[in-house]
Every structure is written in C-alpha cells, then in structure tokens.
Structure 1
Amino acid sequence: MNVGTLYTVTYNKKSSISGLKVLWSGNAQELGVPYGCSRWYFTFNDNECSNPGKIESIKFNVYYEALNEVVYFNNPFTVQGTCQGISAGDVTVTLKVGLCGLNYVGQETLTSWGTKTSLMIEETFHG
C-alpha cells in the first residue's frame, strides 16, 4: 500500500485537559523505487496533531546492489508521540501511510509483514 489507512481505533478520552499518547510498533519496508520516501503518521478525528506538532516517522531508502540484485530491508519501526488539545469524548485515532511530499517518489510499502504489531493509546496529563 502506498497511501491509506492501516489501523483505526475509537478511544474514549475522559478529560479535555489531557493529551493522547500514541505508540505503534512493528516493522516497515519499502519496495520498488530507489531514493523513494514513505511516511507513517497518526490522525485524530481525521486531522493531524497541531499541538505540539505532527506525529510521524519516515523511511527514506537508498537501495544497494549486491550480486546484481536489489536488497530490501525490513526493519523494526515505531511511530510515537503525544497530542494535546483534543476534546473529551470519542476520538478516532488512525495510523496511516502516505507520501513524504517535496518531490520524493512514493513506494510500495509493507507494514508489519510477518511479525507482531502493537498499538498503544493512553491518556496523559502534563503539569
């Protein structure tokens, strides 16, 4: 998948003054295009976090030739952060994969291929 939704969860947020801490871990791989870039990111009710900023991780791959074959790396990967300013109530938390933009070529991505994946969401308070 080059662009799209990987996981969607509804979380019942109890307080309007708390933040939501999210963590996804698994593995990720890009296939096909040398010097391409893919981006894994969270949205909250279909919007990216603006306080304090986007929660994302990117992979920029350079492929190495070995024995006349392209070598693909399937690596452990995490996306994590805390988003503030989300109202109390049901929050749709979504992990997506997409393009990096800025003239990077998109690639075919594999997420959690052949391994366990974990998604954690917790409500946090910061003083």
Structure 2
Amino acid sequence: MTSITMVSTCRFFSPILVAICVIIAGGVACEEKPRSTENSHCHPVHRIKQCAWSNINYHGPNGIIKECEFTKRSDKTALRVLWNGNLRVRSRSVPNSCFRWYFTFNGIECKDPVAIDSAVSSTSDENRHRVTSIEGLCYGIPSGRVNVEFRLSGCPDVSPGGEAYTGWNSASRILVEEMFISY
C-alpha cells in the first residue's frame, strides 16, 4: 500500500492506531479529529517532491544551475531542501579559487534561520569531482508556488578566478519537503 492509501485508511483508527499507521506509511504524519465528531479523518501534514537530472554538466557562469517548482500548502510549515550531486572547483592559473553553491526561494536566500549553502575552494589544478549533499530548513516562506533554485556564485572576499563544475557525468537531484516543525 502506498503512503497515500495508508493515510486515507487511517481515518477510522483510534489515536494509538493512527500512530502505527503513521509509522507504516513511511513517516507521513496524521491528525485526527476527536471521536465525538462523526467524520474523523486523517491527512498528511508534510509533502515531498524530487526533481532529478542526468549529466547536468553545468560549467557556466554564476547563476541558477537548476530549479524545482513546489506548491507550499501552509504558512506554518518549513521547507527542507537537499541537493545531491557532484561538484568541482579548479584553480587553473590563479593561486586560490572558491565557489559557493546555495539555495534560493523565488530568488531570495533563506534568512530564517540562515542561508543554505556550501563553499568549496581549491589551490590546485586537480580535476576531482566530489559527491556533495547540501541541505537545510527554511522557515517563513509563504504558502503558494515556490521556485526552489540551486545556484552558483563566487565566494565573498576571494578574488575571482578558477572554474566551477556541477553534475558531471552523473545523476543530480533536488528534494523539497514541506514539514511542520516547531522552532
């Protein structure tokens, strides 16, 4: 049974069985109305979407590498985002190069609690592509359509130079998950 089927069937269960239903359904949380109402129900309180690509081979200038559109259903939820794919920085003819990969939401970096990013630097011309995961939670994003963008820029306070490469010869993905989290 899929999570959706499990969630729809758990509406008839007692609160203890709802908790078991949640575990069986792969972590989909449920809320149940008190038994005094005749139409008790259960519904998911977080959702997830994956956008995936093969062989992005992004060797471009600063800017958006990939985008994943998501519809956020509540103002009271956080978005958890994850990038998984390979990254590389080469210094080439400069003594040090540094690039920053980061997420934006409708073009704006997360501020609550902080940016979701990673900086990679290199002092050599080595050509090592490394599998990397960058993830975090962002609060305060309003409900509605959210364009989750994975971006590249140079590092602040480092002279420009070198080259950055993203998604060479492999699968890359962005996961977006809406979840109720107290903070």
Instruction: Please report the TM-score for the alignment, with normalisation by the length of structure 2.
Output: 0.63
Residue 97 of structure 1 corresponds to which residue in structure 2?
152
- For the aligned residue pairs, the C-alpha RMSD in angstroms reads 1.3
Structure of larger gyration radius: 2
Structure with the larger strand share = 1
Match 2:77 to one of 18, 29, 42: 18
Indicate yes or no: 2:123 matched with 1:62.
Answer: yes
Structure with the larger helix share = 2
The answer on whether the counterparts of 1:2 and 1:107 sit within 8 Å (CA) in structure 2 is no
Match 2:110 to one of 49, 56, 74: 49
Residue 73 of structure 1 corresponds to which residue in structure 2?
128
The answer on whether the counterparts of 2:105 and 2:147 sit within 8 Å (CA) in structure 1 is yes
CA distance in structure 2 between the partners assigned to 1:6 and 1:97 by the alignment: 7
Q: After the TM superposition, list the runs of 4 or more consecutive aligned residues in structure 1 that deviate by more than 2 angstroms.
A: 31-34, 103-107
Residue 63 of structure 2 corresponds to which residue in structure 1?
4
SS in 1 for 2:68: strand
Residues 72-105 of structure 1 show CA distances to partners (whole Å, capped at 9, x for unaligned) of 2211112211100000000111000001111332
The answer on whether the counterparts of 1:100 and 1:106 sit within 8 Å (CA) in structure 2 is no
Amino acid at match of 1:60: S
Give identity over the alignment, percent: 32
Kindly tell me the number of residue pairs found equivalent between the two proteins: 121
Q: Which is worse superposed, 31-40 or 21-30?
A: 31-40
Q: CA deviation at 1:124?
A: 1.3
Q: Which runs of 5+ in 1 are unaligned?
A: 64-69
SS in 2 for 1:117: strand
Instruction: Please report the TM-score for the alignment, with normalisation by the length of structure 1.
Output: 0.89
Residue 124 of structure 1 corresponds to which residue in structure 2?
179
CA distance in structure 2 between the partners assigned to 1:46 and 1:21 by the alignment: 16
CA distance in structure 1 between the partners assigned to 2:164 and 2:132 by the alignment: 13
Residue 29 of structure 2 corresponds to which residue in structure 1?
none
Q: Which runs of 5+ in 2 are unaligned?
A: 1-59
